[in-house]
Structure 1
Amino acid sequence: MPPAKQPTLDDAEAPKKKRGLGGKLLTIVVIVLVVLAIGAGVVVWLLLQKKNDLAGDGTESVQEPAAAQVSMEKPPTFVALDPFVVNLQPESGERYLQVIMAMRVADEKTAQGLSAFMPEIRHRINLRLTGKLPSEISTPPGQEQLAGEIAADVNAVLGSPAERGPTAIVHSVLFNSFIIQ
């Protein structure tokens, strides 16, 4: 019996190259077909959407999102307050709060009129801040609650019929910086 031919390195690589090239080509073809199918599906969907929009009788009421309904003809008016640095109620040692805030007000006339009330507004805000525990205001919900309380306090100083919201003099309080140390 003749001795079996020992496979060489060249013999082992040749079939792999053919299989690898064919496998790569097949993979590329499949990917291209999938991308083309997805693209065709998107085009058909867009055409159907456009056809449905044109086929409407025009009496349909389209609700725009609330953010899209904001009129930029009258931009919002903000009043920036000087920074506050206060001691917080003790839980475990001395804790301080440094906060920079702004108030969104009804209009420019209101913003200019706030300066007459600023000493009392700052006093009320200082009282509100120093009465807080660090754990109460260290979370986003706690900070939102604090902002609402401050807005209600300022509206009370200004004699607003509403405590907060779009009908109040001060619509909202926004924190630009909020650091608890």
Structure 2
Amino acid sequence: MATSSPAATAAASVATDPPAPRRTSKLLIGLVAALGLAAAGAAAYVFVAPRFTDAAAAETAKAPVPEKPIFVLLEPLTVNLQSEGRSRFLQIGMALKVRDERAKAQIVEFMPELRSRLLVLLSNRAPESLVTSEDKARLAAEIHSALNAPLADGLPELGIASVSFNSFVVQ
């Protein structure tokens, strides 16, 4: 009987054992595939996402941003109206929408003259001509024309965009 040394037995068992399974190569292939998919997703995000955000930003930029309106409130006016027999009056409060701060400053500066224009314009009215909403719209257009007229020769119009009533009482 031959005795063998422990080193020889280990060498013989290694030579007779079947080879190790190729599990590590399958794991390596799966890992490389996952990294490839992650890289493709990152590339898609980098190249495609800005197009959508740029399109959204362009849509937002195209939409006009409404400007903040500038109003000048006038103190209420009370004027006598033309009527047969009994006295009638109109009490009216209004706001002027102006185009810019320069127009607002000019209106405030010339307010006494503008109030005088309003009193003359309103005092020659018959009470029946101020009843319907069409009458009020017509009156607003007349007030707009009268107040928007230049204050002196050589000066531009005042820059009044519209006239709004905030109180309107005929008695």
Give the TM-score range, shorter chain.
Answer: 0.5 to 0.7
Q: Deviations over 1:112-166 (max 9, x none)?
A: 22122111100000011101111111111111111111110111144545xxxxx
Pick from 118, 127, 130 the counterpart of residue 120 of structure 2.
127
Q: Deviations over 1:42-79 (max 9, x none)?
A: xxxxxxxxxxxxxxxxxxxxxxxxxxx7733x211110
Indicate the residue corresponding to 1:77 in structure 2: 70
Tell me the SS of whatever aligns to 1:82. strand
Runs of 4+ off more than 6 Å: none
Kindly indicate whether residue 167 of structure 2 is the aligned counterpart of residue 177 of structure 1: yes
**What's the TM-score once normalised by structure 2's chain length?**
0.57
**What's the TM-score once normalised by structure 1's chain length?**
0.54
List aligned pairs for 1:11-160, cutoff 5 A. 71-72=65-66, 74-158=67-151, 159-160=155-156
Gapped regions of structure 2 (runs ≥ 5): 1-62
Cα distance between partner residues in 2 of 1:70 and 1:92: 55
Please report the RMSD computed on the Cα atoms of aligned residues, expressed in angstroms.
2.1
The code of the aligned residue for 1:132 comes to: R
Q: What is the identity percentage for the equivalent residue pairs of Structure 1 and Structure 2?
A: 39
Tell me the SS of whatever aligns to 1:173. strand
Deviation (angstroms), 1:92: 4.9
The number of equivalent residue pairs is 107
Gapped regions of structure 1 (runs ≥ 5): 1-68, 162-167
Cα distance between partner residues in 2 of 1:128 and 1:121: 11
Asked if 2 retains the 8 angstrom alpha-carbon contact of 1:91 and 1:133, the reply is no
Asked if 2 retains the 8 angstrom alpha-carbon contact of 1:88 and 1:97, the reply is yes
